[in-house]
Amino acid sequence: MAGVLIVGVGPGIGLAVAKRFVREGMSAALIARSEQTLKVAADALAGAEVFTATADSTDEVGLRAALDRATEEYGVPDVVVYNAAVIRSDAVGELTAREHLDAWAVNVVGAITTAAHVVPAMAERGGGTFIITGGMPEPKPDYASLSLGKAGVRTLVTLLDQQYGALGVHVATVTVAGGVAPGGAWDPDGIAEQYWRLHIQPRAEWTHEVLH
């Protein structure tokens, strides 16, 4: 029973996306660092087919193993969402080189690891959707590491589309332009709707970035 696989599920966008896809009868494979986070998410999806696995997006071996377990459970997913990020306020010159590398590892490299592990199987099958949660439509000097990471994500989407788009894999980013909070302009349920719309877009109408 293939469905949605989310790396970096949490109480905001990740859980809202899982709920949106489960509403369509899909299974949900959820990956996060914390067992407690996964338990809360699974409880919120009671009644659906749900698989959970703990993994840190910066741990390549652990993340690949979690992706393998999810695939063994439900098959190659129809849609994969990479939703992990380090969100903090910092300006150029405030972080050490190590801190920048640690942020980049979550914001970009984890997405690369995920894509490299699942997108080829989607292409071999003949189709699928790979979506990354983006942000920072314009760089902000008080969010330097996040601005750099989201620029990297945007480029990664372009590269993946160039490599796998012709093979039937729709690669896109949902670029969230503000702080996520229920009931506001960036309500997680409203944002989640953009992921579903990308997934069901006819191939002739594929878009690769949605700004919300």
Q: pLDDT tens, 19-75?
A: 999 999 999 999 999 999 999 999 999 999 999 999 999 999 999 999 999 999 999
CB-based contacts of 46: which residues, under 8 Å, 6+ apart?
Answer: none
Q: How far apart are the first and last CA of the chain?
A: 30
- Global pTM? 0.97
Confidence of residue 1 (pLDDT cuts 50, 70, 90): low
Q: Which tokens sit at 10?
A: 């949490």
